[in-house]
Amino acid sequence: MAEESLKWNGPAVTAKLKAAQIAGVNRTMGKCVNQAKRSHNWQNRTGVLEGGITIVGYAAPEGKGVKGTWGVTDVRYALIHELGGVIKPVRAQALAIPQADGSVVFVKSVTIPARPYLRPAADVFYPTLVDNIRGAYEKGGGDGGA
């Protein structure tokens, strides 16, 4: 009887690694979402923007890797809040800005300062991605990182 000197487990190892990548990416995105919701420097008045921060697309295989998406959808002012910018009228000569006393002030433009909330969360948790994938792999691949 011949002894087996090498057993090839390539497909099983590849599948385990892919599952660990998915779990690690999902774990990292979840931490980013939680951080962005609670650690921002702007006054939360309505909760709409904060409530819109979510995992947009859970991690899934894409090409030779894994892709997941987190951020904000369905909040029109989310991007200008993150990056800042200038708002100018499109269909009028001026923007109408209501005042607390009931009056209205007309201006040619409004400059919105950047109030980042997504990038700081990514800066905190993206460096942990490798450890999250490793932890999921060591726990068996699938749900070890979630």
Structural domain includes residue 145:
no
Whole-angstrom CA distances from 65 to 4, 76, 106 are 33, 31, 51
Structural domain includes residue 5:
no
Structural domain includes residue 98:
no
Rounded CA separation 11/7 (Å): 12
What are the residue ranges in the chain where pLDDT is below 50? 144-146
Overall domain count for the chain? 1
Query: What pLDDT, on the 0 to 100 scale, is given for residue 2?
Result: 64
Structural domain includes residue 128:
yes
Structural domain includes residue 36:
yes
Structural domain includes residue 47:
yes
Query: What pLDDT, on the 0 to 100 scale, is given for residue 45?
Result: 81
Query: What pLDDT, on the 0 to 100 scale, is given for residue 144?
Result: 41
Query: What pLDDT, on the 0 to 100 scale, is given for residue 118?
Result: 96
Structural domain includes residue 106:
no
Neighbour-count burial of 54, counting CB atoms closer than 10 A to its CB (0-12 exposed, 13-18 middle, 19+ buried)? middle
Q: How confident is the model over 117-134, as pLDDT tens digits? A: 999 999 999 999 999 999
Structural domain includes residue 66:
yes
Query: What pLDDT, on the 0 to 100 scale, is given for residue 72?
Result: 96
Place of tokens 């002894």: 3
Query: What pLDDT, on the 0 to 100 scale, is given for residue 132?
Result: 96
Cα dihedral 70, 123, 126, 28 sign: negative
Parent domain of 120: 10-81+115-138
